[in-house]
Structure 1
Amino acid sequence: MAAFDVMTGGGVLDAALRARERLAGSGLAQALAGRDPRPWGRRADERARLGWLDLPKTSRMLVDRLAVPAAEARRDGLDHVALIAVGPEGLAARAVAEAGGAAGDALTVLDGGDPAALERTLRRLDRTLVVLASKAGVSIEGDAHRRILVQAFRELGLGDAEIAARFLVITDHGSPLHGFADGCGYRVGLTDPGLPGHFGALSAYGLVPAMLAGADVTALLDQAAAALSALGPGTDGPGLLLGAVLGGCARPGPGVPGRDKVVLLGPDGLVGWLAQLVATGTGGRGRGILPLEPAGRPDPDRAPDVHTVALGGASGHDADTSVWGPPGAQFLVWEYATAVAAWLLDVDPFDEGAVWARRAEEDAAAMLRRPAEPPAGDPDFVDGGVEVRGGPASGGWFGRPGLRGALDALLDDVPPAGYLAVVGHLPGQGPVRRLAAALARRSGRPVACGTGPGHLHGTGSFHMDGPRTGAFLVLTGEAAGDRPVPGRPYTLGGLRTARALADVRALRRQGLPVLWLHLRDPAADAARLVEVITDGDHRAWRRTTGERGAYT
């Protein structure tokens, strides 16, 4: 295997060395080598929770079985994979496809986050193979996308048997989706229900869609298998060191704050998958590590609790920590490091924390069963084309009229060591990232960001069960060409609205401040939001440098 290295220095190194001292006599490396989950409070018979360590070897049989069907699909001209998945399953496949060299347009993830993704799929329907992936049942987004695609295949002239042949389902043994798929005549690939979903990049969830999209997953498994020897029972392996860096930094040290917000610099797919791995694996019991995209990185001088990590050759000349290694090894080493960091934080990394996510989905489904009742209600006010609803935990924005006042009120509710999060139910990631960057500059605090229900589904363990120091901006917008869902009394637009409102309610049940903005013209209104935030930043700078003193 090419070398896998972790390099750090300064205060990060000091924290990591303190953590390694604690790890040295813990027996944790030996427990990982022996697939023993007891150090995290698990029972000895729950060895499947550590089954991800064996995937570089056991997944080879899966790849061998899939080689012929994958070749046949490409021979038949099916060179595009539409993956219906919300959360870890979709993020894993996207990361593996990117790391394995699949063409950028060969895999489309339908998770409800980007309305345009379905339209791109429908334009390539004659070349599309559909993978439906979920550890449990079909999500409401999955149900909607499956129904729309089935109808579109019928309109293309395919019969029932031909449509069934276009679908492949990946799920756990005995899950509700298993029985549903059998009833539809779909091909089914089954996985171990004991394997935590957020540790499943090298399982069928990550490998099958990526391989069908043309990724070289065999090379990735070779790289991961070669990394296993470096993750043995010793205390000097890269996984243990990286875990010590992450977990050691997140704990406050003598006279220094914890650095529990991690900016990840690297390929989009890997960063997206790592965000859900680290957030879910460490978020709990009032603590955790919050992963951030580069867009949400604030000025380091204003955010001493931020730790920057550059991945696999990413430009990180000012990164606190740099991690080098082959792509396949990155998946395995980061999973190992997350388990180590969670132990240092006294958190169970294998708890998927899905209770709140299921409740939010049930809440959205209940709204959709009552289509005659507008779930959102009237906005508190409308500023230009932006409908404003909800308010910060401090009691609202009375006396602060307009969109600027609402944003100022939300920023006021960010604690000194807190953070902001932007969740966009809008086309593409561009508007969300631009808003995250503007808010990071304005507030000086880190800003997490993501799209659709998949973002909170993947990182919600940190937001809901971690320190609970976030303030949330939820964005929805009018989508052109809204589509009805066959056999359901709602449209995709109605589904997105219900999902957004369910997320807002879930956050508010935790006592977290939430501002919900609905953009009637998403492109123009998102640009205006950036201007409002940036103008507020300029006014803050003028007051800070002027005679009137510091801005508050």
Structure 2
Amino acid sequence: MTVAVHVSGEPKRAVDELVPGLVAGLIASRITAGDPTLWGPDAEAEASVRLGWVEAVANSRPLVAEIVALRDQLRAGGVDRVVLAGMGGSSLAPEVITATAGVPLTILDSTAPAQVLAALDGGLERTVLVVSSKSGSTLETDSQRRAFEVAFSDLGIDPAERIVVVTDPGSPLDVASREAGYRVFNADPNVGGRYSALTAFGLVPSGLAGADIAELLDEAEASVLQFAVDSAENPALRLGAAITGLPPRRDKLGLVSDGTHIEGLPDWIEQLIAESTGKGGTGILPIVLLPVSPELDSRPADLQIVRLVDDADEFHLRERHEGEILVSGTLGAQFLLWEYATAVAGHLLDLNPFDQPDVESAKEAARGLLDAQPEVTAPAFVQGDIEVRVSDPALAASGTIEGTLDALWSRLGPDGYVSVQAYVNRLDMPQLQGLREMVAADSGRPTTFGWGPRFLHSTGQYHKGGPRQGVFLQILERTDVDLEIPGRPFTFGRLIEAQAAGDAAVLAAHGAPVVSLTINDSADDVLALFEAAQ
């Protein structure tokens, strides 16, 4: 299947006006050649060491045989369950690859104690853990690795036989892992995490889980020439121009999977675009939607819809979605398409699509809370079993959850958005994701949903670095389940509390209104929350 990008209405006007300049400026071929000057002098140093993804297909080919050989070796020894410890792009790409391939992969991208325990309790005797981190300094991934090392040892299993590490060459994790005797796969250090789908970060866990990673690379390779050529028909140039748009820009991008065979791609696109463009007070905010989401009926003026379909041209002829962007292609091709398009959007917006200047602020705030161990702030009020905390006392003046949410929505401007952030065990409360639909309907504005702390490594950049448009609803979990982190003076439960509180503090410091609701891990509290959001 070839890659296709079909545009009509306003997106077509943007393509017609912007693409000729991109072609004349040789933007596609310069990206392919690794030209770091495309995003301005301030971005040049970063871009010069972040364009390795354009060569990922060729560079990753030698890994395939090694990954398949290791998979066969593990399975011959009865090890057929793969757990991936990784955050942001390190886990989102393998999640899409394995879900689309229909092979099982346990994703551990959370510090919720019950979610970590579920990964530990799934049959360690047949489990291999893949630890994915560019440097190894990611606190969540380091904590997960520590927990598995002790759990393996307690069962009499040598961790060196069951832990596989993916990291940059020469990183602290690389050095320590080799010293410990772990199997290490080095990734290209010139590729950022969110652009790493076709590198070792995407391929190792997916291949060990049973996905056909050679075919994935074949799919990407078949599309490389399309994206590299300076032509008005280049689908990456067309998509980059269409999602950027013309003034007044539609800076919200609704991503809808509509009949495509690819599973979960909007979540991967979300982190790629949000972290790449949300900075300097501008950006593109991706919003993962369902085909029946409220935004598709209300059609906010600042929301551009993208439908991911299996055949864009045929879909357009059949459905006639005027003014939308229709995208189709194989998974490998789509990874590369969106990476190119995001780099093009960064060029058009005059920003650096490879850094993440505001991500560290939430991490620093969380570390400060872990070091200081302050008492938990008293709630503004308690309704039933739900504790309500707010960044501004005026938000809680009503004394009810429904009134507090209404007060939060009242802070939305005409171009505002709501961010719902669930710091919970998503295995036990997947229904919380349905809260996004209710909030979007009740607030009347585009609404994002993120599982915490996963989103801190992706869309969290946009929340702090993008336009000051957002209002924020945190959902926290009160639970008796907790788990020690070996070698650390805090538990997983304390860690996820600090991450939520730290991010709330940083958002409030940026002037953003934040409401935090702490619920029990029970159906009653979840139901009460849904009722309040209607």
TM-score normalised to structure 1 length: 0.88
Residue in structure 2 matched with residue 230 of structure 1 by the alignment: 226
User: 1:231, 1:238 within 8 Å by CA — same for their partners in 2?
Assistant: yes
Cα 1:142–1:16 change in 2 (3 A) is same
What SS does structure 2 have at the residue aligned with 1:519? strand
Cα 1:45–1:416 change in 2 (3 A) is closer
Say if 2:210 is the partner of 1:214.
yes
Cα 1:111–1:45 change in 2 (3 A) is closer
Residue in structure 2 matched with residue 403 of structure 1 by the alignment: 401
Say if 2:273 is the partner of 1:275.
no
Residue in structure 1 matched with residue 339 of structure 2 by the alignment: 335
Cα 1:496–1:189 change in 2 (3 A) is same
Residue 206 of structure 1: how far off its partner (Å): 0.7
Cα 1:406–1:481 change in 2 (3 A) is same
Residue in structure 1 matched with residue 282 of structure 2 by the alignment: 287
User: 1:82, 1:129 within 8 Å by CA — same for their partners in 2?
Assistant: yes
Cα deviation code 1:445-504 (max 9, x no counterpart): 100111011112211222211112111101111235322223333322222111111111
1:160-179 mapped onto 2 (5 Å cutoff): 162-179=158-175
Say if 2:504 is the partner of 1:512.
no
Partners of 1:270 and 1:299 in 2: CA distance = 19
1:360-439 mapped onto 2 (5 Å cutoff): 360-371=362-373, 373-374=374-375, 376-392=376-392, 396-397=394-395, 399-428=397-426, 430-439=430-439
Q: Quick check: 222-231 or 162-171, which moved more?
A: 162-171
Residue 86 of structure 1: how far off its partner (Å): 1.5
Residue 204 of structure 1: how far off its partner (Å): 0.7
What SS does structure 2 have at the residue aligned with 1:135? coil
**Which amino acid counterpart does residue 188 of structure 1 have in structure 2?**
V
Partners of 1:487 and 1:281 in 2: CA distance = 34
Partners of 1:230 and 1:133 in 2: CA distance = 31
Cα 1:524–1:45 change in 2 (3 A) is closer
Partners of 1:442 and 1:299 in 2: CA distance = 14
1:306-317 mapped onto 2 (5 Å cutoff): 306-313=303-310, 317=319
Structure 1 gap ranges (5+) = 535-552
TM-score normalised to structure 2 length: 0.91
Cα 1:32–1:216 change in 2 (3 A) is same
What SS does structure 2 have at the residue aligned with 1:92? helix
**Which amino acid counterpart does residue 331 of structure 2 have in structure 1?**
P
Partners of 2:46 and 2:145 in 1: CA distance = 37
Cα 1:69–1:398 change in 2 (3 A) is closer
Alignment equivalent of 2:249, drawn from 258, 264, 278: 258
Residue in structure 2 matched with residue 475 of structure 1 by the alignment: 475
Cα deviation code 1:515-539 (max 9, x no counterpart): 11111345322221111121xxxxx
Cα 1:362–1:180 change in 2 (3 A) is farther
Partners of 2:396 and 2:95 in 1: CA distance = 44
Partners of 2:45 and 2:526 in 1: CA distance = 51
User: 2:113, 2:483 within 8 Å by CA — same for their partners in 1?
Assistant: no
User: 1:477, 1:522 within 8 Å by CA — same for their partners in 2?
Assistant: no
Residue in structure 2 matched with residue 541 of structure 1 by the alignment: none
User: 2:164, 2:182 within 8 Å by CA — same for their partners in 1?
Assistant: yes
Structure 2 gap ranges (5+) = none
Cα 1:330–1:321 change in 2 (3 A) is same
Residue 300 of structure 1: how far off its partner (Å): 4.1
Cα 1:399–1:241 change in 2 (3 A) is same
Cα deviation code 1:198-245 (max 9, x no counterpart): 111001111111101111010010010110111123222111111111
Residue 273 of structure 1: how far off its partner (Å): 1.1
Residue in structure 2 matched with residue 190 of structure 1 by the alignment: 186
Residue in structure 2 matched with residue 92 of structure 1 by the alignment: 93
Partners of 2:298 and 2:361 in 1: CA distance = 39
**Which amino acid counterpart does residue 405 of structure 1 have in structure 2?**
G
Q: Quick check: 446-455 or 174-183, which moved more?
A: 174-183
Pairs aligned (count)? 516
User: 1:485, 1:491 within 8 Å by CA — same for their partners in 2?
Assistant: yes
**Which amino acid counterpart does residue 462 of structure 1 have in structure 2?**
Y
Say if 2:133 is the partner of 1:129.
no
Residue 135 of structure 1: how far off its partner (Å): 1.3
Residue in structure 1 matched with residue 500 of structure 2 by the alignment: 500
Say if 2:56 is the partner of 1:59.
no
CA RMSD between the two structures: 2.3
Residue 302 of structure 1: how far off its partner (Å): 5.0
Cα deviation code 1:362-412 (max 9, x no counterpart): 3323323344x32x32111111111111235xx623542211121111111
Residue 278 of structure 1: how far off its partner (Å): 0.8
Alignment equivalent of 1:324, drawn from 307, 313, 328: 328
What SS does structure 2 have at the residue aligned with 1:82? strand
